[in-house]
Amino acid sequence: MTATGGIDRHDLIRNAVLFLNDPKVQSSSLTSRITFLESKGLDEAEIQEALRQASSSPSSSSIPPVPPDGFQDSARGYGYNYNSGQRRGMFAPDPPRRDWRDLFIMAVISGGIVYGLTALARKYLLPHLRPPSTTSFQSTSASLTAQYDEAARLLSELQEQTTKLVASIEGDQVRADAVLGEVEDAVKGVRDNEDRSREEMREIRGEVDSLRELVPRMIEKHAANQTAALAELQSELRSLKTLLQSRQSQANSANSSQTQSAAEKLLTPRAGKGIPAWQMVPNTSGGSGPSPGGSSAGSLAGSGILDKEVVEGEVGQVKEDGV
């Protein structure tokens, strides 16, 4: 077997030398040729030996060597082509033969795999394939019944809560509608009040503008009336002053005569009860008629009272006009 291996290695080296001497292969790089030889199973020493033999052999020959099938197929990847009519050598080694040890190892591995799969099936798959027992079926049925009852109870509670929630939402909606109506009414009232206030402000502004135009004219008219009233009052006061001065001089002369007659009567003795002498109207002329002095004094007193009332009335009228 060793001799056969040596012959095969020698054939590999010889085929490698023929491959390296090919003119088409020599155009490629040395690295690619070494890589190709390594892929064919040659080690570094064999590759160096093949390179040495290829470099020592003549560069040209009459008949180009034919590489084996492996070299030909791989060389095609580098762009090399050989004629199909040339002879091809056997380069690939024979496949290894299987003996009883290989078969025993394969049987042991297969048996272990089958045993593992069977154990896994018994542990995990078989319990699920077996039919359940009566006790487990009853316990499962009771558990399912309890779960169903619990689900029904939860469903009824959920339905009650949903009903309450719907009623609460409806009540809230009614209250919200009422509040919304109140808000709308309030907004409408505010808008109406705002419109009314704007209208009132417009009217007030118009009245203020009219008053602004009317007040100067009223002031001018009042000033003119006051000036005329003051002028009239001044003229009346001057005439009244003149009248009072003239009447005051007449009253002074009448008072002096009345004082003298009253003193004479007081000095005379009384002749019984009667009107006091000082209350009686003196009669300087000795007749029964009233004396001119008394009549003039009475007329002067009456005229003074009348003139005083007239003056007060004029002053009040002036004050009213001024106000």
- Domain of 32, CATH number, reads 1.10.10.10
Does residue 197 lie in a domain region? Answer: no
User: What is the pLDDT tens value at each position of the chain, 323 positions in all?
Assistant: 444 455 577 888 888 888 888 887 877 788 888 888 888 888 888 888 888 888 876 544 433 444 444 444 444 444 444 443 333 443 445 556 677 888 899 999 999 999 999 999 888 888 778 776 778 778 888 888 999 999 999 999 999 999 999 999 999 999 999 999 999 999 999 999 999 999 999 999 988 888 888 888 888 888 888 898 899 989 988 888 888 888 888 777 666 666 666 656 665 555 444 555 555 545 444 444 444 444 444 444 444 444 555 445 554 554 455 44
Does residue 252 lie in a domain region? Answer: no
What pLDDT is stored for residue 110 in this prediction? 93
What domain range is 109 assigned to?
A: 101-129
Tokens of 242: 């003149």
Q: What is the b/e burial string over 42-74, where b = at least 16 CB atoms within 10 angstroms of the residue's CB?
A: beeebbeebbebbeeeeeeeeeeebbbebbbeb
Q: Are residues 70 and 13 in the same domain?
A: yes
Tokens of 306: 């009348």
What pLDDT is stored for residue 192 in this prediction? 92
Concatenating the DSSP letter of every residue in 155-167 gives HHHHHHHHHHHHH
The candidate with the shortest Cα–Cα distance to 42, out of 73, 3, 70, is 70
What pLDDT is stored for residue 157 in this prediction? 93
Does residue 44 lie in a domain region? Answer: yes
Does residue 108 lie in a domain region? Answer: yes
pLDDT in tens, 153-169: 999 999 999 999 999 99
The candidate with the shortest Cα–Cα distance to 67, out of 7, 96, 78, is 78
**Torsion sign (Cα): 216, 221, 225, 228:** positive
Q: Are residues 59 and 110 in the same domain?
A: no
How would you class 16 by CB atoms within 10 Å of its CB: exposed for 0-12, middle for 13-18, buried for 19 or more? Answer: buried
What pLDDT is stored for residue 161 in this prediction? 93
What pLDDT is stored for residue 109 in this prediction? 94
**What is d(CA 12, CA 42) in angstroms, rounded to the nearest whole number?**
8
Does residue 271 lie in a domain region? Answer: no
Q: Are residues 72 and 118 in the same domain?
A: no
Q: Are residues 72 and 10 in the same domain?
A: yes
Tokens of 282: 């003196």
Total count of domains within the chain: 2
Q: Are residues 7 and 63 in the same domain?
A: yes
Does residue 279 lie in a domain region? Answer: no
Residues in the chain: 323
What pLDDT is stored for residue 82 in this prediction? 41
Tell me the pTM: 0.25
Q: Between the CA of residue 217 and those of 31, 213, 264, 319, what are the distances in Å?
A: 126, 7, 68, 20
CB atoms within 10 A of CB 30: 10
Does residue 151 lie in a domain region? Answer: no
What pLDDT is stored for residue 304 in this prediction? 44
What pLDDT is stored for residue 179 in this prediction? 92
What pLDDT is stored for residue 9 in this prediction? 78
Does residue 293 lie in a domain region? Answer: no
Q: Are residues 72 and 16 in the same domain?
A: yes
